Amino acid sequence: MDQPSLPPPCKSGDRVAIIAPAGPFQEKWLFEGCERLRSWGLEPIYEKELFSTWGYLAGSDAHRLESLHKAFRDDNVKAILCARGGYGTFRLLDGLDLPLLQQHAKRFLGFSDITMLHQVFAQQCGFIGFHSPMAASQHFIEGSPTSVERVKQALFADDLATIFSPIQGDVLQQGPRATGRLVGGNLSLLAASVGTPWQVDTQDAILFVEEVAEPPYRIDRMWQQLRYAGLLKPLRGIVFGDFGPLRDRYTTYTEEEFWLNRIGMPEGIPVLHKMPFGHIRDNATLPVGASVTIDAETATLHAA
pLDDT of residue 266 exceeding 70, the answer is yes
pLDDT of residue 220 exceeding 70, the answer is yes
pLDDT of residue 2 exceeding 80, the answer is no
Residue 239, C-beta contacts closer than 8 angstroms, at least 6 positions apart: 169, 206, 207, 208, 209, 271, 272, 273, 275, 294, 301
The single residue of 67, 104, 112, 139 carrying the catalytic annotation is 112
At 141-183, the pLDDT tens digits run 999 999 999 999 999 999 999 999 999 999 999 999 999 999 9
Residue 178, C-beta contacts closer than 8 angstroms, at least 6 positions apart: 206, 236, 237, 269, 270, 293, 294
Residue 38, C-beta contacts closer than 8 angstroms, at least 6 positions apart: 44
Question: Is 66 designated active site?
Answer: no
Contact 172, 197 (CB under 8 A): no
Residue 245 pLDDT class (50, 70, 90 cuts): confident
Residue 249 pLDDT class (50, 70, 90 cuts): confident
At 60-105, the pLDDT tens digits run 999 999 999 999 999 999 999 999 999 999 999 999 999 999 999 9
Name the residue among 284, 206, 204, 190 with its Cα closest to residue 238.
206
pLDDT of residue 279 exceeding 90, the answer is yes
Burial (0-12, 13-18, 19+ Cβ within 10 Å), 57? buried
Confidence (pLDDT) at 243: 87
At 9-24, the pLDDT tens digits run 999 999 999 999 999 9
pLDDT of residue 139 exceeding 90, the answer is no
pLDDT of residue 228 exceeding 60, the answer is yes
% of the chain exceeding 70 in pLDDT: 100
Contact 151, 109 (CB under 8 A): yes
The single residue of 132, 193, 210, 273 carrying the catalytic annotation is 210
pLDDT of residue 1 exceeding 80, the answer is no
Report how far residue 94's alpha carbon sits from residue 271's, in angstroms, rounded to the nearest whole number: 33
Confidence (pLDDT) at 113: 98
**Domains with residue ranges and CATH for the chain:** 15-159 (3.40.50.10740), 167-303 (3.50.30.60)
First-to-last alpha carbon distance for the chain, in angstroms, is 19
Residue 31, C-beta contacts closer than 8 angstroms, at least 6 positions apart: none
pLDDT of residue 25 exceeding 70, the answer is yes
Question: Is 47 designated active site?
Answer: no
* Helix ranges (DSSP H) in 193-274: 216-228, 255-256
Question: Is 302 designated active site?
Answer: no
pTM equals 0.97
